[in-house]
Amino acid sequence: MAKIVVSLDGHIIEQRVVKEELLMLGRNADCDMVMDDGEVSGRHASITTVVNDHFLEDLSSTNGTLVNGRRITRHLLEHNDVIFIGPYRIKYMNAASAGVGFDRTQIIRPLEPRVSPANTQVVAAELDSAAASTRATRARFPKGKLVITSGSSAGSERLIDGLLLPVGREGRALGVINRRPLGCFLTQVSGRTLVLNGKPLGRDPVQLNDGDEIVVGRDKLVFRNV
């Protein structure tokens, strides 16, 4: 189970296990983790749980969200990642993602970054090496694409070439497609149940086959191997 350790000005102020399907971070009082600082947006970022993994998403914040010193929009969290939100530092720890976990059978374990005494910069060479190793391994995973046949984006396609591709919208119906060594897998995350080939999707990941139809809210998508 994943754990996060929050520090401010070099002092640990909170430690918690990530049990929520969606963990909201920001300055607003209704956030799951409230960060009371002017550099933090009202709803700054979120952490979504997908089985044993978590992905971090910046919610169009004013000052941005960084992981290991680099600005991100959406990021699959790795063991010992350090998240930067304003003056706050959040260390993510997840033993399941450090070895041969659910989605990471052949993902090379990243090097643990060393943070400077000021805790604001990360040693670039180590991060580049870890990122290059992960990209090289990920490139060997099977790819796919989604052909949108119905909905507001009908006729368009989305290539599945990253490790995770969210489908749907938070608060309505949200799922994620995950590339693994054996193929692409679809997992329900939150909201209304996704439908796969006319049947409700359960809570466990399901491997996608060429021609499978996914219904997410009002949108219909067809999965194709690439």
pLDDT of residue 187: 86
DSSP 194: P
Residue 212's nearest CA partner among 185, 181, 180 is: 185
With beta carbons less than 8 A apart as the criterion, state whether 16 and 4 touch. yes
Task: Please state, in angstroms and rounded to a whole number, the distance separating the CA atoms of residues 119 and 36.
Answer: 20
- pTM score, two decimals? 0.53
Least reliable range by pLDDT among 73-77, 83-87, 212-216: 73-77
Q: What is the 3-state secondary structure (H, E, C) of 63-128?
A: CCEEECCEEECEEECCCCCEEEECCEEEEEECHHHCCCCCCCCCCCCCCCCCECCCCCCECHHHHH
pLDDT above 70 covers a percentage of the chain that reads 80
Q: Supply the DSSP symbol for 111.
A: P
| pLDDT digits 0-9 by tens, 104-138 | 433 333 334 444 444 444 444 444 444 554 555 55
Mean pLDDT of the chain: 81
